[in-house]
């Protein structure tokens, strides 16, 4: 006999999608559950009950045999078999270490929605971050030049900011905040791939190298230092660009003078990102320790491209703890007001920048 389940079919489908993403299953497997959720949401309880009673769920768009089975079981108050299997397989803590640090983490400065190369709508990312206990999440979709990832033009980003406002208005007094951000490409010459006017309207800016990762070390150092010196930059994203595992294959780290780059970060108060994605593990341990010794601040980020990946922070926390980094130097443990003051401190025209 199945266990009881009272959270309803939408919660069951969302939880299944979340666990699949968290378990790094292929996105096509997840899509069915996300699509079925979208179909179910606008349906009235009476219509849903009728479809269950008549066995006509699979006539609805986006609902197939396996999602229909989940829905029927959830509607009948039974734990869906698929959900029970996934809870067993994927719900356990992802790593043994870093738990104390993870408990101190309040936010995440790097995430993507389906406006660029993420798989889910903005509101689903925000809702999941809230459910995970985050106090803030920065939405950082890609900048224009990254066309392969549907980077946002200034016009699209302007429209996205209205959506961010709407999501925050909808979440109301929950205490959670979705923050306006960008993952802006660092161009070959170190400039940032978005207008200053647009960058100034954002609350947190992650700057990352995504192209010409193999350029010579001197040129890469100049490029990265220039980006770090840019007053709009708050976080240096996945600094080496390496890939250590995963379906995109592996890629060596870029070569640059890490001491020069991290010293610039320390002087400017730019956070070195600890990118939690399992295929990145960036920066590598030796560089993480160098940045620690130089006195940098850090941001432990998920770089989530799907809601379930927001839980990847556990990986970054384990690495930061192993490297002995003081939580006080990790900006994502700071309350949102402190975080925002830090992120605005070097902006042209701010009191701190004019000192």
Rank residues 244 and 345 by Cβ distance to Zn ion and give the closer one. Answer: 244
Instruction: Please identify which residue in the block is written with the tokens 């009950």.
Output: 49
Residue 295 CB partners (closer than 8 Å, separation 6+): 266
Instruction: State which residue, 73 or 332, has the beta carbon closest to Zn ion.
Output: 332
CB nearer to Zn ion: give 21 or 183: 183
| Residue 235 β-bridge partners | 206, 271
Choose one: 63-71, 124-132, 192-200, 208-216; the region binding Zn ion (CB under 5 A).
208-216
Site string for Zn ion, 284-323 (x = CB under 5 A): -------------------x--------------------
Distance CA 34, CA 153 (A): 27
CB nearer to Zn ion: pick between 16 and 310: 310
Closest CA to 282 of 311, 314, 319, 325: 319
Nearest residue (CB) to Zn ion, 74 versus 314: 314
For Zn ion, which stretch binds (CB under 5 A), given 122-130, 162-170, 181-189, 241-249? 181-189
Cβ-based neighbours of 26, under 8 Å, separated by 6 or more: none
Q: Does 193 bind Zn ion (CB under 5 A)?
A: no
- Residue 120: which residues within 8 A CB-CB, separation 6 or more? 34, 113, 114, 306, 307
Spatial CA neighbour of 323 closest among 278, 274, 279, 280 = 274
Establish how many alpha carbons lie within 13 A of residue 252's alpha carbon, considering only the half-sphere containing its beta carbon.
5
Two tokens, residue 245: 């595992």
Site string for Zn ion, 213-252 (x = CB under 5 A): ----------------------------------------
Instruction: Using CB under 5 A, pick the residue from 37, 208, 299, 333 that binds Zn ion.
Output: 208
Report how many residues bind Zn ion under the rule CB under 5 A.
3
* 183 forms part of the interface with Zn ion (CB under 5 A): yes
Q: Which residues bind Zn ion (CB under 5 A)?
A: 183, 208, 303
């Amino acid at each position: 006999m199945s266990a009881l389940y009272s959270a309803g079919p939408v919660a069951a489908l969302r939880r299944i999608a979340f666990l699949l993403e968290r378990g790094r299953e292929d996105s096509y497997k997840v899509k069915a559950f996300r699509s079925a959720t979208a179909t179910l949401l606008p349906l009235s309880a009476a219509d849903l009950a009728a479809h269950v009673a008549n066995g006509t769920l699979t006539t609805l768009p986006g609902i197939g045999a396996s999602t229909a089975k989940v829905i029927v079981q959830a509607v009948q108050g039974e734990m869906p078999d698929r959900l029970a299997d996934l809870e067993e397989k994927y719900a356990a803590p992802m790593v043994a270490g870093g738990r104390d640090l993870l408990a101190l983490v309040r936010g995440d400065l790097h995430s993507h929605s389906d406006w660029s190369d993420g798989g889910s709508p903005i509101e689903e990312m925000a809702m999941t971050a809230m459910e995970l206990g985050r106090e803030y999440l920065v939405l950082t979709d890609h900048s224009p030049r990254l066309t392969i990832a549907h980077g946002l033009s200034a016009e699209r980003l302007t429209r996205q900011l209205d959506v961010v406002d709407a999501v925050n208005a909808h979440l109301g007094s929950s205490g959670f905040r979705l923050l306006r951000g960008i993952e802006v490409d660092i161009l070959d010459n170190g400039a940032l791939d978005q207008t200053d006017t647009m960058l100034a309207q954002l609350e947190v800016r992650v700057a990352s190298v995504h192209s010409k990762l193999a350029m010579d070390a001197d040129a890469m150092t100049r490029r990265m230092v220039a980006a770090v010196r840019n007053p709009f930059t708050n976080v240096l994203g996945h600094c080496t660009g390496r890939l250590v595992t995963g379906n995109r294959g592996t890629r060596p780290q870029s070569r640059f003078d890490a001491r020069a780059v991290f010293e610039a970060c320390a002087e400017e108060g730019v956070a070195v990102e600890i990118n939690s994605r399992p295929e990145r593990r960036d920066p590598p341990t030796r560089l993480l320790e160098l940045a620690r010794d130089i006195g940098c601040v850090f941001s432990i980020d998920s770089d989530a491209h799907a809601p379930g990946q927001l839980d990847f922070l556990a990986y970054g926390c384990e690495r930061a703890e192993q490297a002995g980094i003081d939580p006080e130097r990790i900006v994502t443990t700071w309350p949102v007001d402190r975080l925002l003051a830090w992120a605005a401190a070097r902006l042209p025209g701010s009191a701190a920048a004019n000192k």
